[in-house]
Amino acid sequence: MATWNSRGLRGSTLEEFVNRTNERYQECNLALIQKVPTPITPVRIDQETRQITLAYFDQKSTVDYIGVVQGVPLCFDAKECNNGTFPLHNIHQHQVDFMTDFEKQQGVSFILIYFSNKNIAYYMRFSELSTFWERGLNGGRKSIRFEELDENYFLEVKSGFFIPYLDALNQDLNQRP
DSSP assigned state of 34: E
150 is in an annotated binding site: no
pLDDT exceeds 70 at position 11: no
The reply, when asked if residue 49 is annotated as ligand binding, is no
Whole-model pTM over 0.95: no
**How does pLDDT run across 76-111, given as a tens digit for each residue?**
999 998 888 999 999 999 999 999 999 999 999 999
Tell me: the pLDDT tens digits for 46-61?
A: 788 878 777 655 556 6
Please, how many CA atoms are within 13 Å of residue 6, restricted to the half-sphere of its CB? 6
Does 101 belong to an annotated binding site?
A: no
Q: What pLDDT is recorded for position 45? A: 78
Rounded Cα distance between 39 and 61, Å, is: 7
* Alpha helices (H) in 38-161, listed in sequence order: 93-104, 126-137
pLDDT at 149 exceeding the cut of 70: yes
* CA 79 vs CA 135, 137, 176: distances in Å: 19, 20, 24
Set out the domains of the chain in order of their start, with CATH numbers: 7-175 (3.40.1350.10)
Query: Which of 37-46, 66-75, 90-99, 149-158 has the weakest average pLDDT?
Result: 37-46
pLDDT band at residue 5, thresholds of 50, 70 and 90?
very low
Residue 41, marked binder: no
Number of alpha carbons in the 13 Å side-chain half-sphere of residue 5? 0
Tell me the pLDDT tens digit for each residue of 15-39.
888 999 999 999 999 999 999 876 6
**Contact between 85 and 122 (Cβ < 8 Å):** no
